Every structure is written in structure tokens, then in C-alpha cells.
Amino acid sequence: MMSFQFNKSSYSTGTSDCVEVARNIPGTVAVRDSKNRTGGPVLRLTPAAWRAFRDGLGVDR
């Protein structure tokens, strides 16, 4: 079983608004709160749903 490899968002600050995203598993984009890495939930999206979410935020990456 593959494990997600999370990267902290470049939009996150050092003390708040910390989001990590993993794109290393085909067909899945995973998002989690970096302040709760071990016990927090992981949101799993399709790449199309992730793009729609980002587009709704006006994020270009």
C-alpha cells in the first residue's frame, strides 16, 4: 500500500493556515491540516475535484 507524501502549501504561514497536499498517488489528491498530522482527517479528492476547488479559490497552482 502506498503512503501519501505530503508537502506544506506555499500559501501556508509559519503559525497558522497550515495545509499539506499530497499528489503522489495516481487519481488522488489528499489534503490535511499540518497542525494535526497524526490524528486528523485526510480529505481525498479526485484531481478534477481538486482543480475545481482551487479554481473556486482563485489559486493558480
pLDDT of 5-60, one tens digit each? 999 877 666 666 688 999 999 999 999 988 888 888 999 999 999 999 989 988 66
Domain annotation covers residue 1: no
In a domain, 15, yes or no: yes
Q: Establish if 33 belongs to a structural domain.
A: yes
User: Where residue 4 falls among pLDDT bands split at 50, 70, 90?
Assistant: very high
Does the pTM of the predicted model rise above 0.85? no
Residue 56 lies in a domain: no
Domains: count for the chain: 1
C-alpha grid cell, residue 7: 508537502
Domain that holds residue 42: 7-46
Whether residue 55 lies inside any domain: the answer is no
Query: Quick one: pLDDT at residue 17?
Result: 66
| 59 within a domain of the structure (yes/no) | no
In a domain? residue 53: no
